[in-house]
Structure 1
Amino acid sequence: MTDHRMLTTVDDTEALGRELAGQLQAGDLVILDGPLGAGKTALTRGIAAGLGVEGRVSSPTFIIARQHRAGAHPGAVALVHVDAYRLGGDLDELDALDLDTDLDHAVVVVEWGLGVVEHLADRHLRVQLRREPESDVRTAEWEWIAAN
């Protein structure tokens, strides 16, 4: 079942991320899809806040993957934030990131991961973000998808 929501501000996008974090645990894979400026990193900031990770979350565009340790409070979960855009479908480089190992102890969030990383987990949370033309309003649709 697909859920959806209109996001009128960056705060709304981050709040959705915090809400989605409540459904996540170590071993979960989240795939974020949407064009540039759709809010993928803002959503990841919200997920990170909801998981209780340490450190500031920013786009991993130039380093491809950032690891964020779980905070000190009970229930905190580590986060690995990946930008698959620069991989350009290079599965060898993706394999070198060892994301399947990260899934043992962290939530892995992959921007631009649709069609690239689904094989890493038995199921994943797919979040589609869209930005309305000539507006700051975004829409989000999300659903859990089982591996084929």
Structure 2
Amino acid sequence: MKYRVPNGEAMRALGQALAAVFTEGDLVILSGGLGAGKTTLVQGIGAGLEVRGQVASPTFIISRVHEPTAAGPALVHVDAYRLGSLQELDHLDLDASADEAVTVVEWGEGKAEALAEGHALITIERPRGELVEGEDPAAGDRTVTISTTGGAWADRAWPAEGWTA
């Protein structure tokens, strides 16, 4: 699936639409440069899952659990930027809550795949590359591409390709 996202508001809206596709036990890995919109997408996912608390980048605490306010799954939001390996990620003991939550790992490509039998990889690209100092981080088009591995993802009803908010 591929989506064009024109700004931060649309990125949150896409995250909210994607949340309807996710279920307990899902692993979602986010890839993209600085300022690509990874945390903004997770904010939308959190809104769609109706979780408690403000969804913010867990860069310095590495992992944050947002409990659901309704009957849906919790959101485990991880920032693996400062982690060097799967072993360091494994020390967070994420698998303790993985079966009951949607686990979203920013900067997780090459580190988090072993946390589940399959996963969704969401790649966010800015046409001009990474965020330039002084630039509005919410501005500018992005291309969001989703690929999946594992049988659990086979029959998901994704938002229509080319979706825009």
**Matching residue's letter, 2:147:** E
Partners in 1 of 2:143 and 2:56 — Cα distance? 21
1:120 aligned onto 2:124: no
Deviation digits for residues 76-98 of structure 1 (CA, Å, limit 9, x no counterpart): 22001000010122x33211111
**Matching residue's letter, 2:81:** Y
What's the CA shift for 1:143?
2.0
Pairing of 1:37-56 with structure 2 (within 5 A): 37-56=35-54
Normalising to structure 1: TM-score of the pair? 0.91
1:132 aligned onto 2:136: no
Paired residue secondary structure (1:94)? helix
**The one of 37, 62, 67 aligned to 2:65:** 67
Partners in 2 of 1:146 and 1:116 — Cα distance? 17
2:163 match: none
Runs of 4+ in 1 over 4 A off after TM superposition: none
Deviation digits for residues 47-87 of structure 1 (CA, Å, limit 9, x no counterpart): 1111110110000000000110111x3x3220010000101
2:157 match: none
**The one of 76, 82, 88 aligned to 1:80:** 76
**The one of 90, 94, 98 aligned to 1:95:** 90
Q: Percent identity?
A: 49
Q: Where do 5+ consecutive residues of structure 2 fail to align?
A: 133-138, 152-165
**Matching residue's letter, 1:127:** I
2:32 match: 34
What's the CA shift for 1:105?
1.1
What's the CA shift for 1:111?
0.2
The total of aligned residue pairs comes to 142
Q: Say which structure is richer in strand.
A: 1
Normalising to structure 2: TM-score of the pair? 0.82
Deviates more, 1:118-127 or 1:138-147: 138-147
What's the CA shift for 1:120?
1.1
Deviation digits for residues 14-59 of structure 1 (CA, Å, limit 9, x no counterpart): 1111111111111000000000000000000011111110110000
Q: Where do 5+ consecutive residues of structure 1 fail to align?
A: none
